[in-house]
Amino acid sequence: MNAHLQPTGSAYFLTQETQQAERHTLSVLVDNEPGILARVVGLFSARGYNIESLTVSETEHDRRLSRITVVVVATPKVLVQIKTQLERLVPVHRVHDLTAEGAYLERELALIKVRGSGEHRAETLRLADAFRAHIVDATVESFVFEVTGKPEKIDSFIALMSPLGLVEVVRTGLAAIARGAEGM
């Protein structure tokens, strides 16, 4: 197959992609009803788009609204397609590209289990303190740390824990909100 017809990460690989893919955080306000998450995820999978992070939670109980935060890496062309398709789903109220709209805050939570004994135990605790990681469980053989922050901070902590006895990592996915006085 010709190089220009090879898949590029887009389901529409028969046209050559010339733009660079970028990471974008989308915030989607939806009705909190059964099946909406499956419909959103189905939209991505049917078109071959990859989701890097996905979180969903009810945010306005009285109005039965939920917020879905989706992190994708896409070219500008594919990003427009993603946003357009999301806006067409019936229970979707609004779609915001937080990355493109300006300043926003993002945080993630991770639980990280690390084996620890002897010298490694002391080094593990020292590094956890430097990252402001909280000990949520401790035994004579291991720790479970809770780390919150930007994904890059969590990635760095995990990388440092790997040679010290990293056992397991559980991440929540990204939560993000625009800065300023305006709501979604």
Task: Note the pLDDT tens digit of each residue in 155-175.
Answer: 999 999 999 999 999 999 999
Whole-angstrom distance, CA of residue 63 vs CA of residue 130 = 41
Place of tokens 């993002």: 106
Residue pLDDT, tens place only, 31-76: 999 999 999 999 888 888 889 999 999 998 889 999 999 999 999 9
**CATH number 3.30.70.1150 given to 105-176:** yes
The structural domains of the chain, with segments of one domain joined by +, span 3-101, 105-176
Q: What is the mean pLDDT of the chain?
A: 89
* Model confidence at 17: pLDDT above 80: no
Whole-angstrom distance, CA of residue 47 vs CA of residue 172 = 25
* Model confidence at 138: pLDDT above 70: yes
What's the pLDDT score for residue 9?
A: 56
Answer yes or no: same fold for 3-101 and 105-176.
yes
CATH topology of domain 3-101: Alpha-Beta Plaits (3.30.70)
Strands (E), 116-174: 134-138, 142-149, 166-171
What's the pLDDT score for residue 2?
A: 45
List C-alpha distances in Å: 146 to 109, 124, 175, 178: 7, 13, 16, 24
pTM score, whole prediction: 0.79
What's the pLDDT score for residue 60?
A: 86
Closest to 67 in 3D by CA, of 79, 55, 81:
55
* Model confidence at 136: pLDDT above 90: yes
What's the pLDDT score for residue 1?
A: 43
What's the pLDDT score for residue 125?
A: 95
Binning pLDDT at 50, 70 and 90, where does residue 179 land? very high
Average pLDDT over residues 101-117: 94
